[in-house]
Each structure stands twice: as structure tokens, then as C-alpha cells.
Chain A
Amino acid sequence: MQTEIKTENLKPGRVQQIGPLVGLGLIILALSLISREFLSITNIFNVLRQISINALLAFGMTFVILTGGIDLSVGSILALSGALSAGMLAGGMDPWLAVLAGLAAGTVMGAGNGVLVAKGKVAPFIATLATMTIFRGLTLVYTEGRPISYDSDTFAMLGKGYFFEIPIPVIWMLVSFVIVYLILKNTPFGRHVYALGGNEEAALLSGVRTDRVKIRVYAVSGLFAALSGIILTARLNSAQPTAGTTYELDAIAAVVLGGTSLAGGKGWVTGTLIGAMIIGVLDNGLNLLNVSSFYQQVVKGAVILLAVLLDRSRKK
């Protein structure tokens, strides 16, 4: 009997995992051939810094998508958390406390999404579409539609500083990546996320508290959105009321490009990091090549489509 098992079925994950990496490699190769600046140390750190915010949002999004959900509200949570932190700083609060308060606010907002999905049984798309609008509205109310600026070098350092040669946001991204990787791989919570996304009923019947897991994944997504909001606020020296608009789309794109299934249950955060890099490298490369920003959007969309189509044809 053993011989009847088709070898291609043995490790179906592996091919899928290599695909995004190969794609990234090809894009990097092509761009380094076309542009000499591309592979300079300065530019590499530049790219990493540019992708850090999207990567952080996408890490949180990975949890949500692995459970079969989606979180459209991350851009708005980013803006509101950033604004709250900036507001508290402007009011004279200790910068570290302001950071913690911002992170806590984002986590609570995310948990709110989770409660709507888990307890209210609202479809994730609808729940987070609604809260996306609500949180954006609250941001506009809180900021009165104007940027909030503050005066704190400690806080600004979180977005603009360097640790040796490495930009601080890149450190945030790499540390977060390692933590997320370990959580998904080595904790019961990680397993519960995959099980819930793969088959909710089977997970429930195996003793997984599915409601709790759902609330947690949206809370994690909110936490990462808040962290991104703080970094963005720090980098710009002010909180913008429209910050993060449409960022959720790039975050979703990074997750999908990384090979994580929108149906849930399958995927990995390393893919998400690669996906975020693909988007970032593409943006950067097209800039270096002086491609107009209008065309850049067309190219980016086409690359996403191409990646997903390749993925489909491989699975057939």
C-alpha cells in the first residue's frame, strides 16, 4: 500500500513555500541588473525601512487570514492609535507611557473586531469594514482633521533612529518576525490558529476555545496596527488623520503573495515577510527606474495577479 502514496503528495507545503522566495529572487536579480544603485547598502536599508510598516501590519494580518478571516480596519487602527499617542505626548505624557497607551488602544480596538466576529457572528469582512469606517471617523473627530504634532526626541527616535547602521523600524520588524514565527510554530495558540482556519468545527470538537482564539487573532492584528501607527507617527514627527488609508490592501497583498491561503489553515509568516519584500522591492525598483507612480500601481497589481495565477496553476 505504501508504494501507492504519490510522492508529490508527501510534502505539498514545500513547493508552495519556495515559490515566493524564487519570485523575490528573480525581481531582485532583474532590478540589480537594470539599476546599479539597487544593491547598495544604503538602498537595501532604505527598502527595509520602507517595508517595515507594511510588514508589521501583514504579520498581524497573517494571524487573521490563517483563521480564515480578514481585517480591513488595520489602516484606521494605525491612524487612531498613532493619533492617541501623539495627543498624549502633546499633553506632556511620558513618551514610553504614550507608546504603551497607543499599543493598548490598538489591541482593544482589535479585540473589539474579534468580539464582533466571534460572539456577534458577523462576517469578518463586514465587521472590519464597519470598524474601519468607525475608527477612521473617530480619528478625524479626535484630531479635528488636523495633524497632531508633538515634541519628544525619544518618541521620534522610534521611527527615525538607528541602532548602529540599522534603522529602528527595521529592528521592530525583524524582532516581531521572530516572535510571530515562534508563536505560530511553537505554541498551542499557533496550532489553534491553524486548526481553526483549517476546520473550525473539528477544532472546537478537539477542545479548542475557538471564540477566544478569534478574539485573540484580531487583538494581535490591532496590536501590530498600533505599533505601525506609532512608528509612522514617530517618523513623521506628527500624527496624520489620514495616515494608513488603504494600508490594509498592501498588508493583505503581502500575506497572499507569501502563499497563505485566504481560506485559512495554510500558510506561514516567512512567506508574509517575503511578500512584503516583493511589494517593497518592486516599489523601490520602479522608483529608481523613474517609472511614473501611476504606472507603478498597474505593475504592482499585475504582479499580485501573476503570483496568484501561478499559484493556482501549480495546484492543479
Chain B
Amino acid sequence: MTEPLLEMKGISKAFAGVRVLKEVSFTLAPGEVHALMGENGAGKSTLIKILGGIYAKDEGRIWVDGRERTIRSPREATQLGIAIIHQELPVVPQLTVMENMFLGREFTYKWRSIRWNRMREESQKYLSQLGVRIDPDQKVGELSVGQQQMVEIAKVLSLQAKVLVLDEPTAALTNREIESLFEVVESLKRHGVGMIYISHRMEEVFRISDRMTVLRDGTFVGTRETGSTDMDQLVQMMVGREIRERFPRRSLRMGGERLQVEGMTRKEKVSDISFTIRGGEILGLAGLMGAGRTEVADLLFGVERLDAGRVSIDGWPVTIRRPIDAIRAGIAYVTENRKEQGLVLSRSVKENLSLPNLGALTSFGILRRGVEKRMTEAQVKQLSVRAADSDQEVGTLSGGNQQKVVIGKWLAARPKVLILDEPTRGVDIGAKAEIYRLMNRLAEEGMAILLISSDLPEVLEMSDRVLVMHEGRISGVFDRDEATQEKVMIAASGGGKLAD
């Protein structure tokens, strides 16, 4: 093997006396994609932050290109050729692609005026090296998330990065964008760039990585060649026990039609959407990003208003103008972005859980805080939210536990229809299985569940039927038995129309 590009040995780190990394080792070869795996809280991000100069290590040694280094600041990391592409991209949407790429290090003439042509050429050079076609003069805010990510990668290339950390790079990408990202990864490999790849999506990791290293509870579990490992082995390394089923089964007991949607239309977003969900049924809603899936949920919940169409619950027509109407009609909506839309991060678990249920907790205008406390503590236990108590700030919980709170806040009201939009995005395997079990339990209790997800295995395994959308319309409906990845993908990309 060639000399490693990066070597980290015996890295330890503690916060306030709590050891979050214990003698972790990691090596990265040139042209290698090395997946860094582990559940939330396993220490992946701490390790990456040490590499990026954001945290200082307590113990251990780091070699870059064969020379021992101390990385004291993000600036030093950059100088050593280490670049981190974060999940949330630090772009300035109002500036153009080239302005973003060379922000803070613009090419200028002696008299400090910007050399636009030089900037354009340089950014063009790196963008075409990645094989992407993006106009350097376009505003970054007008690009898709995938394209913004390409701009960010081009930017770090221009900084001569040799070690590239990709932190959940596909979380917000469409399937097509994921493909082009993988092409870029391949071309970077050929150029000898070493990549550390962090992702919760197993299928992806197996496809793209050469080796994987697993961390668990801050300790190094092992490094494996991807080719000689299978998914079960990896999961076992990550959780330390076997997870019997990634997708737990449930007993099917379907009731009558709970939700009926007829001809749902919203100008330029969705048109003529009709479907029904029965009690006890999970209806999957698949499609590419921008196909109109979230818009269907927004319309059902009154975030946006219908231009045309009818919604009935248990056979009764309902008029939904704003979220409170939907809540009163028995609809609950677990939104796509828990941080932006689902939670008030600065408030406690208790206050978040009770927020949609305050009406029921109030008598004569006074909040019954004792009842509230008991109710929410019971929920915390029932949902197995890992929090010290219900007064803990939601923002301090891990992603999986936050997601349990988002789902939990709707359950007290015993909704008839539950909309879940990407309920397991960015959630680790253990918590995912718990969320699936919760979904099954709710369906068994007679709820009608609409599951919107970009995770195809999830949609296929969890749903009784799958509805596929393309450009605001339904492009395919499949029963559980006939739904396959291929069929859903073809329908999602509009290919279903050719068959008509």
C-alpha cells in the first residue's frame, strides 16, 4: 500500500470530564473513499472536528502526507489541504458562483479592483474538472442543493484540498444529483484525493466506499474492506448487537376509508391528486425532490390553500384553511425539517410535546401544568426519548431523539390521519427501527398514515401501497407486492407516461 495521505493514531477527547473519543485510529490512502460509520453520538463528528481544527485533541498524533502535524485552527487545516463539506452549506445565496468560490480571496488588480475575467476562468476550470455544467455568473441561491454542493467541492479543489470530508452529502439530494455526486467522487479518486465519507444510508456507503471504519460510543470498533463485509456485519459493528429487523413487520388489519382526497390542485405545484387511505394502512408517497410530495402534505394540513379539490375524513368533508383546522379535523403532520418546522429548539421537551395539545390541557383559561407534566413524562417514557427529564431543552437532544419528540407531540391528540414527511432523515439505525415500530403500532391502532420518503427501501418495506408522483401529478400506484425499486424509479422520473 502507498503511504497514507492521513493517519490519525490514538486520538482521545473529553468534554467536561466525559470521554467522547477513546484512542481512535484512522488512516486514509490517496484516491480512497473511506466511510466513517457509527450511530449518532458515536464520535464521528468529534473526530472530524479535530481533523478540521475546530476541537483540539487531548491525546494522539496526526500525520498528514507522512509528516506529523498539530492542527490548531480551521485555517491550519485548510493550509494542510484538509477540507470539510458540511451538511449545511455555508454559501452566500445572493452572490454568484464565482464570488462564492473565491470569497475572501478574490483575484484583484493592484488597485484592489476585482479581475472578473480571471475569476470566471478559474471557477470554470475547477467546475469542468468536476464535469459539472454550472454558470459561474449564476447566483448560488438559484442553484439546487446538489449544484450548491458541487460549487462547494469546486471551491475546496481550488484550495488544493487533498483530504476531503463529505458529511451526509446526499441527505438533501435527488437521485439524479446523487448519481452526479458519485461521478464527481470517482473523478476525484482518479486525481488522488482521499475522501472521508459519512452517511446514514447503507446502500450508498457500500456502493461508493473502499474501506469503512466503525466507531461506537467513542471507541474504535474496526476497519474493514468494503468488498469483504456485508450489511449485517456492519450494522452489528455499529450497534454492538444484532438488529433483527431493519424493517419490522406488523399485522394487517385494515379498517374503513379514513382519508379521501379528490382532485387536489394547487396552481403550478400539484394537479388533480386523488387517493384514499384506510385506517391501519400506510400509504407511501415516493417521487423525486420537487415532484410535489411535500406540497400534498402542506395542502392537506392547511399550510397552503387548495385551488380545487375535496378532502374528507371518515366520510365527512372538511374545510382546511390553516393548520389549526387540520388539527381539529384529526390530521397530524410530522414535517420534513424538524429543526426549522418541527421543534422550538430553545424550549423544553415538555413544552414541545404539549404545544399542539394546549387546548385540551386548559380549563377556564388556565394551563393545568400538573396534568401536562404527567402526560409528557409518560410520553417521554413511551417513546423512549433519551432525555434527562422533560424539562431538558429539545435542542440538546440527538437527532433521533428530537425526531421522536416531533412525532410524539402529535400522538396525545390521537389523530386519525398522520402525515410523515421524511421521518427518518439523518436518524441512526437504532432510532430508525424504533420509529418504524412506532409507525406500525399507530397503524395497528387504526390510524391512516401517509409516509413521504426519498429512502426507497424504506417506502417499499413500510408501505402497503406506494403512490408515485412526478411533476405534480400521480404517475404510478403500486400494491406492496408489485412495487419494486425499478418500477417506482421509472414512474418517479416520468417514465410511466411512456407506457400509457
- Chain A residues close to B by CB (< 8 Å): 1-12, 185-188, 190-192, 194-195, 198-199, 201-209, 261, 265-266
Least CB separation from B406: chain A residue: A202
Q: Write the nearest CB–CB distance from B21 to chain A, whole angstroms.
A: 12
A199 and B345 contact, Cβ closer than 8 Å, known pairs A1-B386, A194-B351, A206-B356: yes
Q: A194-B344, A202-B341, A206-B323 are in contact. Are A4 and B362 (CB under 8 A)?
A: no
A12, B393: Cβ atoms under 8 Å?
yes
Is the beta-carbon distance between A9 and B392 smaller than 8 angstroms? yes
Residues in A neighbouring B392, C-beta threshold 8 A:
5, 9-10
Of the candidate stretches B363-371, B438-446, B471-479, B490-498, the one touching chain A is B363-371
- Take A9-B392, A209-B322 as given contacts and tell me if A191 and B355 are in contact as well, using a CB distance cutoff of 8 Å: yes
Q: How many angstroms between the C-alpha atoms of A199 and B343 in the bound complex?
A: 7
Q: Nearest chain-B residue to A2 (Cβ)? A: B386
Instruction: Tell me, in angstroms, the Cα distance from A195 to B366 when the chains sit together.
Output: 17
Question: B18 contacts A3, CB within 8 Å?
Answer: yes
What are 28 sample pairs from A and B whose C-beta atoms fall under 8 A apart? A4-B18, A4-B20, A5-B387, A5-B392, A5-B396, A12-B393, A185-B369, A186-B367, A187-B366, A188-B361, A188-B365, A191-B355, A194-B344, A195-B355, A198-B346, A199-B341, A199-B343, A201-B340, A201-B341, A202-B344, A205-B335, A205-B342, A206-B327, A207-B355, A208-B324, A208-B355, A265-B344, A266-B346
| Bound-complex Cα distance A201 to B323 (A) | 11
Q: Which 7 A-B pairs have the closest CB atoms?
A: A198-B344, A188-B358, A207-B324, A207-B327, A206-B356, A206-B355, A199-B344
Measured CA separation A217–B322 after assembly (Å)? 21
Given contacts A187-B367, A205-B333, contact A195 B344 (CB under 8 A): yes
Contact of B367 (CB < 8 Å), options: A1, A12, A191, A201 = A191
Residues of A within 8 A of B389 (CB): 10
Residues of A within 8 A of B109 (CB): none
Q: Which of chain A's residues have a CB closer than 8 A to the CB of B386?
A: 1-2, 5
Q: Could you tell me the distance in whole angstroms from the C-beta of A4 to the nearest C-beta in chain B?
A: 6
Minimum distance in angstroms from A201 CB to a CB of chain B: 5
CB neighbours of B347 from chain A (8 A): 194-195, 198, 265
- Interface of B toward A, CB cutoff 8 Å: 15-16, 18, 20, 41, 301, 303, 322-324, 327, 333, 335, 340-347, 351, 354-356, 358-359, 361-362, 365-367, 369, 386-389, 391-393, 396, 409
User: Which chain B positions have C-beta within 8 A of A6?
Assistant: 15-16, 18
Most interface-central of A7, A187, A206 (chain B CB within 10 A): A206
Residues of A within 8 A of B356 (CB): 206-207
Assuming A4-B20, A7-B16, A190-B367, what are 16 further A-B pairs, CB within 8 angstroms? A5-B388, A6-B16, A11-B391, A12-B393, A188-B358, A188-B362, A191-B354, A191-B355, A194-B347, A195-B355, A202-B344, A203-B355, A204-B303, A204-B323, A205-B342, A265-B347
Residues of B within 8 A of A204 (CB): 303, 323
CA–CA, A188 to B340, complex, Å? 22
- Contact flag A207-B323 (CB < 8 Å), given A8-B16, A195-B355: yes
What separation, in Å, do the CA atoms of A188 and B360 have in the docked complex?
Answer: 10
A2 to B389, CA, bound (A): 11
Whether B393 contacts A9 by the Cβ 8 Å rule is yes
B396 & A202 in contact (Cβ 8 Å cutoff): no
Chain B positions within 8 Å of A187 at CB level: 362, 365-367
| Neighbouring B residues of A266 by C-beta, 8 Å | 346
| Alpha-carbon distance between A189 and B90 when the two chains are bound, in angstroms | 36
**A182: nearest residue on chain B (CB-CB)?**
B366
For the complex, what is the distance from the CA of A9 to the CA of B391, rounded to whole Å? 11
**How far apart are B148's CB and chain A's nearest CB, in angstroms?**
22
> How far, in whole Å, are A188 and B322 apart by their CA atoms in the complex?
19
Alpha-carbon gap, A4 to B21, bound state (A): 12
A208 to B355, CA, bound (A): 8
